[in-house]
Structure formats: C-alpha cells, structure tokens
Chain A
C-alpha cells in the first residue's frame, strides 16, 4: 500500500469520527452517594462490638459503643454521672442487704424494633458476674489461632463468659425478674457503693435475641429471649455454654458483618459501615426514641495513627474533629490552620511520684516521714508543669493537687484546700535541708523508677534530680523501658514516677491503690486510718458522706507524705468551624460523650 492510500483511509476515518462527534456521548450516572458526614479522627481502629470481653475492652471500641448502646446513665464532661431515664430507671431498694431494682423504659428498644427487656439485662448479669464460670477453666487452650474463635474440641457444656470484674461479680444470687419483663432486681452479697455504674458505664448491654439466634438457633426474637432467660434462671449448663460461646465471639469483627443483627443499637447511632483499619460509619438510629436525639445524621470515625497526619487531614478538610495525642508539634500545627477551633483541656491520666514505704532499693530510706517530706518538698511540680505541659495547652495546664479527686469533679476544690498539698506547692530546698538535718540523715540516695523511653518522663526525672540534689539528696537513675514490670518489685527502686489512668469516677477505684495487698498498692503503703476510711467508704451509699471520706483519705495521704501528684495529661482537640457543640470530657469517651449534641454550623 502506498502512503497515498493510507492518507485517504485516514481522511475517511477522520471524517467519520467528526460526524460521529455530532452525536452526544451518553451521560452515565456517576452513582455518587448524596449523603454527607462529620468525620472524626481516632488513633486506633475499632475491632470489636462487645466491649465487655477482655478481647474487646479498649477505648477505640468503647467510643463507638458509647454512641450505639444506651445504658442507665453516662458520664458528662463535668465530669459527673447523668441518669438516662429514657432507657430506664433504677432504685436502691435497701442498703443491707443491698437490693437494687432496675426498670426499663418503654422507649428502650433495639434498632430492629425489639424492646429491650429483662432477657438482655439477665444476659448482661450472667456474662459479667462470673456466676456460671468455672474458676479453674483455662479457655486459651481452645482458641483457634486463625479465627480467634473457640475451636470444636472446646469441652461441651463448658460455660465460659470472657467478662467480669466490673462489680456484678458481687451479685452471685440469680436476679429476680418481673412478670412484665421490664424490671430486674439485683441482690448484692456484700455492699457495693459503685452500684450505679453497673448496667451503666461498666458493661454494655447486648441483644439477647441475637445471641440466642447464634447460640441456640432460635430465629424468633421472642422465643430467643425466653430461651436465654430460661437458661439463666434455671442454670441450664448446656444452653449457657452455647450462649457464652456466642456472647464471647459473635461480636468480634473489624469489618462490616453480613448479618445486620450483629450491629443492633439502643442508642442514638447505629453502625452502618465498617472497613477494617480505615473507618467506621455511624448513622442516626431511626428507631431510637430516647432523649439523646442526634442532630447530625452521619458520623464517620477514621483511623489515623500519626498525630501530625491527623492535623494535615484536618487542614485538608478530610476530617472535621481530631483529638490526637497532645504534643507541642500538634498544637503548633493546629495554630497554623484557618477555620478551626482549638480546644485545650485535660485527659484522664495523671502523673505522680510515689515513695516506697517498704522494700525500697536503699533499705529504709523513706522510713522516716521527715525524709519523705523533705524529698517531696524538692519536687519542682510547678516547674514541670510550666516547662512540659504549658507549651502544649497554655493556661489549662494545672498542677493536680489531689490523690483521689479528678480536677473538676465534685469535691476536688474543697479537698485541695484542706488536704495539706499546699505544703508542697513550692519547691522548698531550705525546708528540705532542715528536715533532713532534723532526721539526722546525710546525703540519702533515692533511686527513681520511670520510663526512660518516654522523653517527657526523662525530662521530669532530670528536673527532679537537679532540684533534690540541691537539698542534699543523691538522686540516681532507676529508669527502665520495662518500668511497668518493675513496679512493686521489692528492692528495685525507692520512688516511682508514672501515670495512673482514671477510667471513671467510681469511689471504690482508689481502694486498690492504698490498702495493704491492693492490686495497685505498689509502694507497700499501710495506714490503718486510711484503710478504715476506705472500708467505711465501701459501705457508704450517701454521696455527701462518700465525698467526706474521700477527702479524709486524701488528707491522710498527703499528711503521710505518700507521694505527690504532678499534672493531669494534656488534651488537645481541633474542630472544624462547621461543627458546633464539641466539648470534650476529661474521662472516656472524651470527645464522643455528647456526639448526639453536635450540630452543623450554618
């Protein structure tokens, strides 16, 4: 073929193309979703919808669950306990024996339309009370490593609920259930003053009829509930084994399950999409009739591990609310962004120094209270806050002055005035020297345990060391990356510097720290007066008296030179101007506590 022919062919084809171009190309439907979402960044991915199990017990899950599952109450950002009467009411019928009656409201319904009833509460009790568990049974031998599920050779008839430890374990007697299926009565074996948190912040109520359909193969919800209720009331081991297995495993998913029954909700939102390690989408629950009516139709929580990546994502409009780990880098990044609000505040963890009352590395160094007082007087608490925390959250950075109360909670201010913490408000080198001289000790060595892989704690240690050495102490470095495992080890250190994480306001939580043999009593502290006050607290239901006793304990601890609290961890939240009413709480679920009150700005 010669080039001429080719040119001709090209011309013909080109002309055809031009003619065809007269026809309009078909308009395709882009298929784009019309909805819009408020996007929130969180640093860890959601991976389980049952937050009661040791598997699902994590903030990343609890945040989501706090929006999808209602309970008899929740914490607001004061922080204080708020009853949710649109879910149900409760009443302390008698203190001794302690009897509590719970009554569900008519507005408490599952998102599939089923009412929440006593079968659900009974299941919650059964799973949290350990009443049916065999204490000698070790479940991990029967878990399938591929799926995490219980394997087939799991002994049949073995009841094992992977929950508990939340207070319901004090109710071993099977609860009484009303005939209308709306009330349940718990009788405690021994008094439990944090009883309000049971069926509240501690323990999420899961749908009994869904568990029944998986465990017992009963599709009808009414029958399913009845079967679960029967199994629990009659201690039917065979059925309970199946129920416990289902309860442990069916809610463990990090991708959207095929069965929508697994994401049933009783709260303002319901999970509508979940992509592993990327995001979870919550949509307003249409069947929700309670008080927490949501204003925003859809909230998507995206998982961003890197704090600075979250900041740029906020700047780029991909997320509207971020609350990454607070550092000066994050704050500086946020300050450079237009159109956002920066909310600074505090977080539940608090930094503190504890002194070893026994089993210290340098034997007996802190036996004399004057040495303890002298050492604590040298700790530059204000300086630590000024140099390490102020740059992050500015004027919100405060020295925490109470061993017991969370700043802002009822009783904190009053306790701070009277607990004697003011003795340690300023560094007092001269006073410390005088106390040491009085005690007749020269140059005592104090070895401090802290996380030496954590830059902030390394700085704190350096500040404490410099200050204490001026008063004649010889502060040495017991820092370790494995500080957690070393805590409480006899002879390992003389003082420890770390953070306690408060998860709630339960008055019984402090007990483990201060009574001899308590789980968190890592410095072998033993003061009969404190123990007595805590014992009384354990049987005191009246709120005012509880606070009095807590203040008493607080005062005694400072008087004994137990240690010092330093600061509350800083929190920074960046919120796009298009969202209003975001007001983080100091305790979990921090930014999410009032998500139903968030509004789009007009």
Chain B
C-alpha cells in the first residue's frame, strides 16, 4: 500500500513537473506581456516598461525564466512560497487565495446538488429501464450535457433572471400555463411511478392535481411576492418526510423506526413557533450549531426508540430531523424574501445575473442568505445542468449491472423485500464506481468553472487563468495550473484508494 502510494506520487511528480514546464513555455510564448504599454503614448511608458521587465524578469528567455518561477515554488516546501507577480504587479499568491475562495463558494454547492440529483435520477432510470421516463430523462440530460455552458448561461439569464423578475411585477400565472405545467409534472410522475396503467394514472393524476392547485393558489395570492410555507405546509411536509425517509431507509414495517421519525417530525412541528424567537438573532455559528444539534438530537430519539436495529432507527430519525429542520429554515428564509426584494438596493428584481452579492445590502443572517441564494441560483443551475448527465449515466449503468448479478437474484429468492434488495444489496455496490468518479470530479471542478465564472462575473480561478492567458502572463496561469494539477493528482490517487477500500476484490500492491 505505502509502496503503491509513494510510487504513484513520485511518478506523478515528474509528470507534473514536465507538464508545468510545457505549460509555462506555451503561455510565455503566446504573446507579448508588454503589449498594452508598447501601444501607450503616455510620457512615462518607457519607465513602466522597464519596471515591468524588472519585476517579471522579462529579460530572461522563457526557457530559463521557468526555473526562476520553479525556484519560487520550491520555496513553498520551506514555508516561503513565491509564485511571482502578475502583469499588474500584484503578488500571485495573494490573488490565488482570493480566487480559490470565490471558486469554492461557487462550485461546492453545485457539486453536491449535482451528485445528489444525478444519483437519484440514475437510480430511478435504472429501476425503470427502457420506460418513457428513462428515455425522456436520458434525452434531456444529454441535451443539457451537449449545450455549451455560455449559451445555457445566456438562456438562464434571459428566462430565469430577467424573465422571472419581469414576472414579479404582475405575479399571476395564466390558467393555460398552470394546466400545461400541471400536465407536464403529471406525466413525469406517471413515468417514475411505472407499473400498470392504473398505478400510473393515479400517480400522474395526483401529481397534476396537486401541482395545478398549488400553482393556482400561488397565482391567486401573489405568493411569489411574499412566499411562505406556514405551519400547515411545514407540518404536512414533516409528516410526509417521516414516512418517505422511513420507507427508503428502514422500511415501513420497521415500526420503531417509523415512530422515531414521526416523533422527530411532531417535535419539529411543536418547536416551529418557539424557534421563531431564536431565529431573530441568528448567526452562522448558531445556524450550523442548530443543524448539528438537530442531527444529534434526532439520532438520539431514534436510538432510544430502539427496535431490532437501534442504529437504523437513529439514522432514519436523523435524516428526517435534518430535512425537516431544513424546511423550517427555508420557511424562515422565505419570510424575508419580500423585504429583500423590495429593498432600495434590489428594487424589485431579486434574481441576479452577476457577482456574488448585492453591494452594500446590509441585512441580517436571513437576508444575507437570501442574497447568496439569488446570486448563486443561476451559476449553480448552469453547472448542475452540464455535469448531471455523467453522474446519471454512470449511476444508471452501474446500478443495472449490479441488478443483473446473481446475488441479487439470490436475495430476491430468499424473499427479502424489494426495498432491502435495492437499498441494501444493490445500491451500495452500485455506488462504488460512482464514488471514484465523484473523487475525480472534485479535482476537476475547481478548474472547470472557467466560463461559468466569466459569464456570471465571479472572479475565481477561472478569471485568474483567463486574464493570465489574455495578457500573456505566465505566473497566474501557472498558479491555476499548480492548484488544479495538484488536485487532479491527489484526487486520482484518492479515487484509487477509495475503490480499494470499498471493494474488497480490489487490492493495491
């Protein structure tokens, strides 16, 4: 194991070293870093050119200048990092820190959501293989996968931001639109439900009616201006979550787990009003503390309800608690929507197309949260749309492969419930290859949002890379390359190790 890791690291190190040399030379030879000054008629242009040559060692040819850069990077090992300066004279290390922060903010949430949705879609399409649902989902995910992201971004800006903001001026949905949306959702639900015609009709019909009614209500009450869930919806959602999560996680036959979930749900409903008093003075640490506290408390409730498998109940209850708390928090965020949207800084157009925040907005924890949401919404959707396809396909094929294994047939033959077979025997094994793909992607995603960042005016790693290329500025490009390259190497290694850890058939030696 240790030999394997060391051998891999040493090999990667030399490959990476060669790659950095190539990258440096290619960037440095791609243009002229003094171009802007050469075309200047300013009286001090000569002086500025001389200073830039001094600062960036432009008098040294790139073939050798690389080693000056490499020497600076070598300093990182003794705590004296020197990634050089960019054309503007800013130290690259400092701007790298800022850029990395912005990019992580942008991609983290998108990555998590893409994985969750991708896996769910993958599993459901595998279970309904060759159904209309399977074909439609495959078509749609591939459609988005093949769209260029800058174009997706423009569409999103036009419809979700500008279109929705215009809609908010007169937030009533035309009846025809309600019918169309309801029918569409009904069809999707019918597709997922599968089974015989009756089952599909019931599922589709219910979904269509509920959606239609909800939309009609929202339209009539101008819900989009003052959105809220209220105690009734929170309560219904909590109970619904208790049943749904138990059904998947432990099975409804496990009464102890169900009671535990319901206890958590009811507790959440009871605490709904008292919590409002706590919410007034919310801060980020308190918010995170409450989230962790909720998980621990719900877990404890599940544990003490017991049953033949205490930990199963605990897990189920913890998930229910976490999700229900999320719904209550969502309700609270919504209650600030109207104030946010009508504030003098936002002026009734809440969904943003650029940047990470509304300048000088002020506002408490909840308002800040809403602001982050309105700014992250579009780039997150864009990133999810293009990355979801691969997760869906990998999960689907992996799940199908597992379902055709002999041991699944054996499990069914033993008379295990379908839930146990799917969740415990199939799903876990199907996730092994997906886990390694996720590990790869985490490495790639930090460097993969170059275009998304630019169109949504986020100044992260992508901007660092792109501005560097535009101005023939090797140092920021190399900083980008160092970070993404190192992450790629590390996560590839982690992917291999994870595979070995999850699948006992694989041995690393």
Contacts and interface: CB of A to CB of B under 8 A. Distances in A.
Which of A13, A144, A304 has its CB near the most chain B CB atoms (within 10 A)?
A304
Q: Which of B89, B339, B344, B454 lies at the interface centre, i.e. has the most chain A CB atoms within 10 A of its CB?
A: B89
B344 A33 contact: yes
A9 interface: yes
Contacts of B270: 13, 16-17, 20
Name which of A16, A166, A276 has the most chain B CB atoms within 10 A of its CB: A276
Q: Which one of A21, A501, A510 has the highest number of Cβ atoms from chain B below 10 Å of its Cβ?
A: A501
Given A17-B235, A309-B354, A318-B349, A145 B91 contact: yes
A164 B46 CA distance: 11
Given A309-B354, A318-B354, 17 more contacts: A31-B364, A33-B360, A33-B361, A35-B345, A45-B459, A47-B90, A147-B94, A165-B45, A165-B46, A166-B43, A166-B44, A306-B454, A312-B157, A316-B157, A316-B349, A318-B349, A509-B43
A32 B85 contact: no
B266 interface: yes
B340 A148 contact: no
B376 interface: no
Interface in B229-250: 231, 235
Interface string B216-231: 0000000000000001
B459 A277 contact: yes
Nearest first, the 3 closest Cβ-Cβ pairs linking A and B are A165-B44, A33-B362, A277-B459
A145 B83 contact: yes
B269 A308 contact: no
Contacts of B401: none
A506 interface: yes
A491 interface: no
Given A277-B463, A304-B457, A317-B165, A485 B360 contact: no
Nearest to B470: A305
A275 B361 CA distance: 13
Interface stretch (B271-279, B410-418, B489-497): B271-279
A500 to B, nearest CB: 5
B459 A28 contact: no
Given A1-B259, A316-B157, A35 B41 contact: no
A498 B43 contact: no
Interface in A1-59: 1, 6, 9-10, 13-14, 16-17, 20-21, 23, 25-26, 28-37, 39, 45, 47, 54-55, 57-58
Contacts of A47: 88, 90
Interface string A154-182: 00000000101111000000000000000
A303 B267 CA distance: 47
Contact of A508 (B43, B85, B259, B455): B43
A34 B456 contact: no
21 contacts: A20-B273, A26-B277, A28-B364, A30-B363, A32-B340, A34-B344, A54-B51, A146-B81, A147-B91, A164-B44, A165-B43, A276-B98, A281-B360, A300-B359, A300-B360, A309-B456, A315-B162, A318-B354, A484-B31, A484-B39, A506-B43
A302 B360 CA distance: 12
Contacts of B463: 277, 305
Interface centre among B45, B98, B102, B351 (most CB of A within 10 A): B45
B353 A312 contact: yes
A409 interface: no
B158 interface: yes
A213 interface: no
B75 to A, nearest CB: 8
Contacts of B34: 484-485
Contacts of A33: 343-345, 360-363
Interface in B77-93: 81-85, 88-91, 93
Nearest to B50: A54
A506 B43 CA distance: 9
A234 interface: no
Interface string B80-118: 011111001111011000110010000000000000000
A164 B466 CA distance: 31
A145 B45 contact: no
Nearest to A55: B89
Contacts of A487: 38
A309 B353 contact: yes
Nearest to A453: B31
Interface in B12-46: 30-32, 34-35, 38-46
Nearest to A512: B41
Given A165-B46, A273-B360, A509-B41, A148 B352 contact: no
Contacts of B45: 165, 519-520
Contacts of B362: 31-33
A23 B273 contact: yes
Nearest to B276: A25
B42 A503 contact: yes
B310 interface: no
A482 interface: yes
Interface string B246-284: 000000000000010010001101101110110110000
Interface of A: 1, 6, 9-10, 13-14, 16-17, 20-21, 23, 25-26, 28-37, 39, 45, 47, 54-55, 57-58, 138-140, 143-148, 162, 164-167, 194, 202, 254, 273, 275-279, 281, 298, 300, 302-306, 308-310, 312-313, 315-319, 349, 453, 481-485, 487, 498-504, 506, 508-510, 512-513, 519-520
Contact of B41 (A9, A37, A520): A520
Contact of B273 (A9, A17, A31): A17
A148 B31 contact: no
A148 B91 contact: yes
B32 A35 contact: no
A308 B44 CA distance: 33
Contacts of A273: 359-360
Nearest to B347: A317
Given A20-B273, A55-B89, A503-B40, A316 B364 contact: no
A30 B360 contact: no
B47 interface: yes
B55 interface: yes
Nearest to A279: B359
B455 A309 contact: yes
Nearest to B165: A316
A512 B279 CA distance: 67
A58 B467 CA distance: 15
A14 B269 contact: yes
Nearest to B370: A30
Contacts of B355: 278-279, 302, 304, 318
Nearest to A283: B360
A137 B32 CA distance: 26
A36 B344 CA distance: 5
B89 A25 contact: no
A502 B467 CA distance: 24
A506 B42 CA distance: 9
Contacts of B334: none
Most chain B beta-carbon contacts within 10 A, residue among A140, A302, A318: A318
A35 B360 contact: yes
B363 A278 contact: no
A30 B368 CA distance: 10
A498 B231 contact: no
B54 interface: yes
B506 to A, nearest CB: 43
A514 B267 CA distance: 85
Nearest to B84: A145
Contacts of B43: 165-167, 194, 202, 506, 508-509, 512
A39 B72 CA distance: 40
A150 to B, nearest CB: 13
A103 B161 CA distance: 54
Nearest to A57: B48
B39 A349 contact: yes
B47 A54 contact: yes
B344 A164 contact: no
Contacts of B40: 501, 503
Interface centre among B84, B88, B91, B276 (most CB of A within 10 A): B88
